[in-house]
């Protein structure tokens, strides 16, 4: 039987091979980092966290955003999100695996990473963050497996799934809130020490995650026979969340710039005038493009325009969380110095390898599910 | 496995064999006994006499003594530097003290900076493994064998006082002191107020070097101890602390 698009063997194997190659390059770069230390990254005394921790931050948001389809489906009985919940859970699992890998490659002494559990430190937000992330991963793995098994044998979901889902909903908000608190309690980083950081994180996550889901659903629609319903509804969620995200960012900038307190304002000056300025402006521009489409219902309902808007949302949030926010938080340093950071080639290779591994986690079992769905 | 882990494991093993007494004895036998001085000090503090220090602008005696005593590498690349004690300008150390009429001489005056051993230390609060912690005598202590190299403490320190080993530091050691361990790549390190010397009843290496040169710019001790020089100086003169508004309560005082 002819199966079109993504489930076509040739295309599939090409994608797997390409991703596998990226994973291999990432592993090669990481073994160099293991051998010669983190000097091979662009990080320094002054900018201690960079690409890895930024990707971690961005991906926690992607993982948390699964709740934006799970919640309407289970709590409000919004049946149209039924198929989407499976994709969302897949995305959450892949994103969480990537999160944990990004934290792992950021460790100077990765072999000792279990010290976090061997010497539990309840005063450290990093301890809590790793706990809630691992817990959320476990929850989603169980949910995903149960859904797939029920789907395979055409039986209804067991009753206990519902209680797990009820736990997973606040948990999703929890993982991104705790990740924000990791930064928001540091007196050394005025740019991060703001009460609006957690709401900002949640808003940008609930914009970028569903935007990614829409892109995935549109790819499925265009390349397979699977038609995911309710994309319009998801577009509405992205519109609300992105508006909130832009509003929260603007509020933060108002407080910093109007008060004119140097510690608060210097961060934004660095962001929009300094080394990262082209990126900060690109993120702003993409946010404007996205809102211009999302806020006009007619434009939003056009699949092509919606795809553009979603790409703009993901791009804008990725630049904001996956690059600017963490790095710019370190500048200027406590002694007033500005050291520039840019990821090195090995660092980028390691990050690309992790993204490729995450894509494989999405693609390989995903294809199996897709093939079954197409036959139905 | 570091010594603390070893002691714990050994202790647990002994308990497992039913020999609680043996375990206690083992722990007692292998734990370093603190000297009387450590027990006596409720809170160690350092005073840096900026006027005395300004008399010797090019002086590096305290830095050299510290870095030699602790096998701190000399890494030429500033981005990867490891520093326990160094000099920054007055303007950068105390930005809130500088105004438009502050003279260039004052602005550029070199000021020794180091770990502040904050009473309310953000680094110890955020460490996910307890590799850096606050001792009862006020010292912010560092266990490089437990550190996982996450650098959360570096993000949390408002003074930039913590260094990460971005590479193997050993090739950058000109001479190695056998009295103090060297470090490996991937861990954070910082000044410990010379905890290893205090145990032996000696003052910190930097203080000793400054006193030996007759400059007397560095004071060290428990300010609450009757008759202690640092306590007298802190009560008699004005003293600055770095970023006091953050509430970290630094235990390094700059006498002006």
| Closest-CA distance of chain A to residue B189, Å | 12
Residue A342 Cα to chain centre, angstroms: 21
Same-domain pairing of B21 and B65: no
pLDDT in tens, chain A (376 residues): 344 455 577 888 999 999 999 999 999 999 999 999 999 999 999 999 999 999 999 999 999 998 999 899 888 988 888 888 888 888 999 999 999 999 999 999 999 999 999 999 999 999 999 999 999 999 999 998 998 888 888 888 888 988 999 999 999 999 999 999 999 999 999 999 999 999 999 999 999 999 999 998 898 888 777 777 788 899 999 999 999 999 999 999 999 999 999 888 888 889 999 899 999 999 999 999 999 999 999 999 999 999 999 999 999 999 999 999 999 999 888 888 888 999 999 999 999 999 999 999 998 888 877 777 766 6
A336: chain B residues, CB-CB within 8 Å: 92, 95
Question: How far apart are alpha carbons A218 and A363 in whole angstroms?
Answer: 15
Comparing CB atoms, the residue among B125, B155, B165 nearest residue A189 is B155
Question: How far apart are alpha carbons A282 and A262 in whole angstroms?
Answer: 25
* Nearest chain A residue (CA) to B150: A107
The answer to whether the Cβ–Cβ distance between A126 and B93 falls below 8 Å is: no
- Whether residue A3 lies within 8 A of chain B, CB to CB, comes out as no
| Tokens read off for A153 | 């044998």
Same-domain pairing of B114 and B200: yes
Q: What is the DSSP string of A326-366?
A: HHHHT-S-TTS--------HHHHHHHHHHHHHHHHHHHHHH
B12: chain A residues, CB-CB within 8 Å: none
Residue spans per domain, chain A = 42-343
The answer to whether the Cβ–Cβ distance between A37 and B167 falls below 8 Å is: yes
CB A86 within 8 A of CB A69: no
Same-domain pairing of B16 and B80: no
Same-domain pairing of B16 and B129: no
CB A113 within 8 A of CB A107: yes
Same-domain pairing of B98 and B115: yes
CB A338 within 8 A of CB A274: yes
State yes or no: pLDDT of B19 exceeds 50: no
The class level of CATH for A42-343 reads mainly alpha
Same-domain pairing of B23 and B85: no
| Closest-CA distance of chain A to residue B106, Å | 16
Residues sharing a CB contact under 8 Å with residue A347, sequence separation 6 or more, in sequence order: A29, A40, A41, A42, A50, A51, A52
| Tokens read off for B56 | 């010797």
pTM score of the predicted model: 0.90
- What's the sign of the alpha-carbon dihedral A32, A35, A40, A45? positive
Same-domain pairing of B174 and B193: yes
Q: Containing domain of residue B165, as a range?
A: 32-255
Burial (0-12, 13-18, 19+ Cβ within 10 Å), B111:
buried
Same-domain pairing of B12 and B48: no
Same-domain pairing of B4 and B79: no
Number of domains into which chain B is organized = 2
Same-domain pairing of B186 and B212: yes
Over the stretch B143-159, which tens digit does the pLDDT of each residue have?
A: 999 999 999 999 999 99
ipTM: 0.92
| Tokens read off for A331 | 């500048």
Proportion of chain B in helix, strand, coil states, percent, rounded to 5? 40, 15, 50
The answer to whether the Cβ–Cβ distance between A125 and B157 falls below 8 Å is: no
- Strands in B218-221's sheet, in edge-to-edge order, are B218-221, B45-49, B252-255, B239-240
Same-domain pairing of B191 and B175: yes
- Tell me which residues of chain B have a C-beta less than 8 Å from any C-beta of chain A: 78-81, 88, 92-93, 95, 113, 122, 125-131, 146-152, 154-160, 163-168, 185-188, 243, 246-248
Question: Which residue of A34, A45, A100, A336 is the best one to mutate when testing the B interface, meaning the one whose CB has the most B CBs within 10 A?
Answer: A45
| Closest-CA distance of chain A to residue B184, Å | 10
Same-domain pairing of B78 and B117: yes
| Closest-CA distance of chain B to residue A57, Å | 14
CB A189 within 8 A of CB A329: yes
């Amino acid at each position: 039987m002819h199966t079109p698009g993504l489930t076509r063997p040739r295309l599939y194997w090409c994608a797997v091979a390409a991703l596998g190659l990226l994973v291999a390059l990432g592993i090669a770069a990481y073994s160099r980092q293991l051998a010669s230390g983190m000097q091979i990254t662009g990080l320094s005394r002054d900018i201690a966290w960079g690409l890895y921790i930024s990707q971690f931050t961005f991906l926690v948001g992607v993982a948390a955003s699964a709740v934006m389809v799970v919640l309407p489906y289970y709590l409000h009985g919004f049946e149209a999100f039924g198929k989407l919940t499976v994709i969302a859970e897949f995305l959450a699992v892949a994103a969480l695996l990537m999160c944990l890998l990004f934290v792992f490659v950021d460790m100077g002494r990765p072999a000792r990473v279990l010290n976090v559990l061997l010497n539990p430190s309840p005063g450290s937000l990093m301890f809590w963050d790793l706990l809630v992330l691992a817990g959320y991963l476990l929850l989603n793995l169980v949910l995903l497996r149960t859904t797939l098994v029920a789907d395979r044998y055409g039986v209804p979901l067991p009753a206990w799934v519902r209680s797990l889902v009820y736990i997973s909903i606040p948990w999703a908000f929890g993982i991104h809130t705790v990740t924000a608190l990791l930064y928001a309690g540091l007196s050394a980083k005025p740019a991060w020490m703001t009460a609006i950081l957690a709401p900002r994180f949640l808003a940008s996550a609930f914009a970028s995650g569903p935007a990614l889901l829409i892109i995935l659903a549109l790819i499925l629609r265009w390349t397979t026979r699977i038609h995911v319903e309710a994309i319009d509804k998801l577009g509405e969620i992205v519109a609300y969340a992105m508006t909130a995200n832009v509003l929260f960012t603007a509020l933060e900038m108002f407080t910093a710039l109007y008060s004119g307190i140097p510690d608060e304002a210097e961060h934004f000056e660095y962001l929009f005038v300094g080394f990262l300025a082209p990126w900060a402006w690109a993120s702003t521009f993409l946010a404007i493009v996205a809102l211009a489409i999302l806020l006009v219902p007619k434009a939003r309902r056009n699949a092509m325009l919606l795809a553009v808007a979603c790409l703009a949302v993901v791009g804008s949030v990725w630049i904001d969380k996956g690059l600017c926010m963490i790095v710019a938080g370190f500048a200027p340093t406590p002694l007033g110095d500005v050291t520039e950071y840019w990821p090195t080639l090995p660092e980028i290779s390691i990050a690309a390898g992790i993204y490729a591994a995450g894509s494989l986690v999405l693609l390989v079992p995903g294809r199996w599910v897709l093939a079954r769905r197409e036959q139905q | 496995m570091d010594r603390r882990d070893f002691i714990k494991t050994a202790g647990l093993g002994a308990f497992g064999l039913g020999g609680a007494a043996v375990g206690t004895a083992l722990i007692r036998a292998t734990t370093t006994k603190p000297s009387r001085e450590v027990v006596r000090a409720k809170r160690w503090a350092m005073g840096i006499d900026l006027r005395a220090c300004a008399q010797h602008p090019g002086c590096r005696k305290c830095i050299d003594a510290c870095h030699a005593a602790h096998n701190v590498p000399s890494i030429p690349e500033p981005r990867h530097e490891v520093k326990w004690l160094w000099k920054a300008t007055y303007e950068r150390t105390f930005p809130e003290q500088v105004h438009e009429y502050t003279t260039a001489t004052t602005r550029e005056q070199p000021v020794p900076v180091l770990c502040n051993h904050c009473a309310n230390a953000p680094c110890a609060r955020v460490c996910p493994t307890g590799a850096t912690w606050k001792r009862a005598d006020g010292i912010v202590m560092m266990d490089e064998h437990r550190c996982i190299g996450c650098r959360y403490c570096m993000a949390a320190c408002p003074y930039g006082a913590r260094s990460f080993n971005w590479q193997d530091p050993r090739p950058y050691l000109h001479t190695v002191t056998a009295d103090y361990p060297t470090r490996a790549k991937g861990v954070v390190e910082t000044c410990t107020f010379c905890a290893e010397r205090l145990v032996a009843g000696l003052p910190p290496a930097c203080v000793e070097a400054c006193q030996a040169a007759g400059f007397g710019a560095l004071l060290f001790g428990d300010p609450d101890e009757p008759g202690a020089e640092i306590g007298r100086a802190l009560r008699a003169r004005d003293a600055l602390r770095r970023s006091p508004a953050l509430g970290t309560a630094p235990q390094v005082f700059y006498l002006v």
